[in-house]
């Protein structure tokens, strides 16, 4: 019989969280990332001032308020949250507004107290890990910010970078076809100049390598997103990535797959998929548009990138106008949003997409989410939950889902087939006013055998393949169809698909235990062992 002391300890054992290992290339493939602008996602209830995006001012968003909304994010099936840069930014109001977005670094050794304290950030990290979720932090290595340009003189306010030797000499970037100009000249303007750090300097390199290692350790980060990657020479990045020791996603804002792919192969940074972004937005921004460019680009990406399954896929973000700012057709919007979730790579959702936000270029695409009241009953909220449920079900059904590369082909003039077994998707740009259209998914593309029942994760309609394994599909009102065999559906089209994803496992279902929680597990184990010896 168990002793009373051990019985007392059992509730403690049940409450000990198993800490997830930080994301690496393998585990990141199964992640689904939700991007927030910290200042605009959630704020304390005590703050009630109006937030006008065009003012470009701080609106009061904090880490602590974000913690209170984790269920809202997890309810859509996202398991990773990407937050704004956390470092101290320049203060005051500039010709470009305030540094509410976090990208105007002053001192990288200090935190931005507008978002909360360092302890608040640690609490966010802990809260995420306790829910089986991950934390990705944005970092800016290329530059710091200043309210002067050619007359800029660094001071002690810039922390480690207080000497002119830490910077490339002033010059504006004027020629994006000249890589030296891109890497050594400055971004920004006379209102806010982004003083370019001399990343060729060993002093600067050593600082950043040590800094990112400490950043990951201090806040128990799971992943790092890097801003303005192409503005730093490629040979800087491998040591930085190694020092971080977690999965890295980086912004290389360029649509040329040859140019962008070199950062994955040479710089060891997994880029966001801008080469697919541009044909994606062009392909679905109007009914009857040409989808051939997108189909062709998927093959070009496979030919150029060392690993397309590690690219970051997105439709909206903080740098580009929301897709919904120019497209109002619901079916086109849903097809475009579905693409990042059913293709090779890691899907990224941008806060407010689920709320139907329509902001255009910066700053209009950085709206406060609290104006939408965190509505979990909206159509788009449920849509993202369905996409994430389908993707997770496919990963649980096949150990190779995340690593096998898709095949994208044309089904008709207005539809494409994305075959990433066991997930088979039909995307269309016919629009919500279109008549029903019939297409056939061949068994050679899907891998389905005869008389296989499949379910559409979006409509929850079930269909059955014919005697040859082919599937007749009707595209209704231009909506996307995302199919998986009913035997593999998991939580797809069940009540759990629109609720919090409680799984803290990898694609094979194995629990990941990290050394972060090892001391606690070890300590509890020692106590249990001692009690057992006393029995």
143 is in an annotated binding site: yes
Token pair 């990963």 is at which residue?
395
- The answer to whether residues 293 and 283 touch, using CB atoms and an 8 Å cutoff, is yes
142 is in an annotated binding site: yes
Strand partners, 348: 33, 314
What is the C-alpha to C-alpha distance for residues 75 and 49, in angstroms, rounded to an integer?
28
DSSP H or E segment with residue 132: none
Q: How far is CA 21 from the centre of its chain?
A: 18
CA atoms in the 13 A half-sphere facing the CB of 149: 12
User: Helix (H, G, I), strand (E, B), or coil: what is residue 94?
Assistant: strand
For the chain, give the number of residues. 535
- The answer to whether residues 279 and 299 touch, using CB atoms and an 8 Å cutoff, is no
What is the C-alpha to C-alpha distance for residues 42 and 36, in angstroms, rounded to an integer?
9
* DSSP secondary structure code for residue 26 in this structure: H
User: Helix (H, G, I), strand (E, B), or coil: what is residue 5?
Assistant: helix
- The answer to whether residues 323 and 333 touch, using CB atoms and an 8 Å cutoff, is yes
68 is catalytic: no
Q: How far is CA 279 from the centre of its chain?
A: 20
Given 251, 354, 367, 456, which residue is catalytic? 251
Q: How far is CA 292 from the centre of its chain?
A: 26
CB-count burial class (<10 Å; 0-12, 13-18, 19+) for 519: exposed
- The answer to whether residues 448 and 401 touch, using CB atoms and an 8 Å cutoff, is no
Strand partners, 432: none
Strand partners, 88: 107
200 is catalytic: no
- For the chain, the straight-line distance linking the first and the last C-alpha, in angstroms and rounded, comes to 8
251 is in an annotated binding site: yes
227 is in an annotated binding site: yes
29 is in an annotated binding site: no
Angle between helices 237-244 and 202-219 (to 10 degrees): 20
- The answer to whether residues 66 and 42 touch, using CB atoms and an 8 Å cutoff, is yes
> How many helices (H) and strands (E) would you count in the chain?
16, 21
DSSP H stretches of helix in 144-291? 179-184, 202-219, 237-244, 257-265, 274-284
User: Helix (H, G, I), strand (E, B), or coil: what is residue 413?
Assistant: coil
481 is in an annotated binding site: no
What is the C-alpha to C-alpha distance for residues 149 and 136, in angstroms, rounded to an integer?
31
- The answer to whether residues 318 and 350 touch, using CB atoms and an 8 Å cutoff, is yes
Given 98, 138, 227, 354, which residue is catalytic? 227
Mention every residue, 6+ apart, whose C-beta is less than 8 A from residue 210: 243
DSSP H or E segment with residue 118: helix 118-130
104 is in an annotated binding site: yes
Annotated binding site: 104, 142-143, 183, 196, 225, 227, 231, 251, 255, 319, 366
Catalytic residues: 227, 251
Annotated binding site for Ca(2+): 142, 183, 196, 227, 231, 251
Annotated binding site for substrate: 104, 143, 225, 255, 319, 366
């Amino acid at each position: 019989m168990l002793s009373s002391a051990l019985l007392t300890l059992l509730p403690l054992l049940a409450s000990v969280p198993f800490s997830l290992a930080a994301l690496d290339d393998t585990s990141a493939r199964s992640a689904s990332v939700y991007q927030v602008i910290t200042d605009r996602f959630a704020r304390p209830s005590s703050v009630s001032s109006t937030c006008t995006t065009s003012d470009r001012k701080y609106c009061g968003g904090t880490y602590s308020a974000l913690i209170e909304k984790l269920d809202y994010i997890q309810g859509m099936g996202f398991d990773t949250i990407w937050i704004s840069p956390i470092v101290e930014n320049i203060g005051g109001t500039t010709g470009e507004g305030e540094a509410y977005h976090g990208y105007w670094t002053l001192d990288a050794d200090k935190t931005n107290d507008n978002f909360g304290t360092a302890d608040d950030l640690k609490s966010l990290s802990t809260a995420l890990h306790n829910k089986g979720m991950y934390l990705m932090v944005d970092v800016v290595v290329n530059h710091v910010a200043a309210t002067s340009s050619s007359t800029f003189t660094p001071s002690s306010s810039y922390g480690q970078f207080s000497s002119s030797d830490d910077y490339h000499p002033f010059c504006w970037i004027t020629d994006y076809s000249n890589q030296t100009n891109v890497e050594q000249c400055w971004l920004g303007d006379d209102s806010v100049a982004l003083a370019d750090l001399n990343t060729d300097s060993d002093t600067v390199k050593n600082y950043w390598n040590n800094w990112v290692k400490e950043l990951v350790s201090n806040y128990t980060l799971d992943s790092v997103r890097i801003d303005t990657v192409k503005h730093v020479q490629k040979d800087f990045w491998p040591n930085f990535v190694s020092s971080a020791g977690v999965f890295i996603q980086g912004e290389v804002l360029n649509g040329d797959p040859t140019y962008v792919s070199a950062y994955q192969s040479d710089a060891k940074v997994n880029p966001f998929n801008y080469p697919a972004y541009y044909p994606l937005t062009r392909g679905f921004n109007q009914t009857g548009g040409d989808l051939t460019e997108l189909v062709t680009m998927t093959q070009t990406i496979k030919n150029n990138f060392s690993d397309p399954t590690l690219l970051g896929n997105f439709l909206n973000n903080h740098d580009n106008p929301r897709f919904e700012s120019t497209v109002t057709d619901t079916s086109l919007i849903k097809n475009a949003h579905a693409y990042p979730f059913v293709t090779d790579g890691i899907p990224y959702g941008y806060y407010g997409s689920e709320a139907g936000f329509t902001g255009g270029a910066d700053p209009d695409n950085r709206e406060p989410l609290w104006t939408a009241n965190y509505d979990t009953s909206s159509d788009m909220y449920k849509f993202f939950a369905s996409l994430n449920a389908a993707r997770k079900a496919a990963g649980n059904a096949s150990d190779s889902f995340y690593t096998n590369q898709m095949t994208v082909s044309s089904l008709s003039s207005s539809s494409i087939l994305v075959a990433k077994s066991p997930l088979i998707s039909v995307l269309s740009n016919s629009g919500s006013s279109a008549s029903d259209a019939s297409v056939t998914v061949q068994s050679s593309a899907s891998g389905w055998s005869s008389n296989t029942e499949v379910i559409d994760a979006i409509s929850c309609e079930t269909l059955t393949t014919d005697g040859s394994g082919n599937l007749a599909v009707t595209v209704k009102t231009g909506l996307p169809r995302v199919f998986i065999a009913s035997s593999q559906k998991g939580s797809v089209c069940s009540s759990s698909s629109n609720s919090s994803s409680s799984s803290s496992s990898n694609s094979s279902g194995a629990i990941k235990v990290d050394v972060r929680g090892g001391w606690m597990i070890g300590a509890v184990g020692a106590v249990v062992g001692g009690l057992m010896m006393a029995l």
